[in-house]
Amino acid sequence: MSKTTGEAFTKPTDDTPTALDVATFDVRAWARGTAPVTRSVAVCGRPDLMGHIEALKDELERAQAAEFDDQRPLAKSHAVELAQVLEAARADMLAAMVVFTFRGLRPGELEAIKAEHGDDGEPEGISDLDYKVWARQCIRASPANGDPVKGVDWETLRLMHRGDEAEGVEGLGVYFMRTIAATANAAASGGGVDVPFSSASSALTQGSSKS
What local confidence, expressed as pLDDT, does residue 14 receive?
56
What local confidence, expressed as pLDDT, does residue 19 receive?
63
What local confidence, expressed as pLDDT, does residue 156 receive?
97
- Residue ranges covered by each domain of the chain: 38-188
- Other Cβ atoms closer than 10 A to 123: 10
Beta partners for residue 149, in sequence order: 141
pTM for the predicted model, two decimal places: 0.80
What local confidence, expressed as pLDDT, does residue 202 receive?
86
Beta partners for residue 99, in sequence order: 42, 142
* Cα–Cα distances in angstroms (integers) from residue 180 to residues 1, 29, 55, 184, 186, in the given order: 62, 34, 27, 6, 10
Mean pLDDT by runs of 10 across the 211 residues of the chain is: 50 56 81 95 97 96 76 68 95 97 96 91 84 97 96 97 97 97 96 88 78 58
What local confidence, expressed as pLDDT, does residue 121 receive?
72
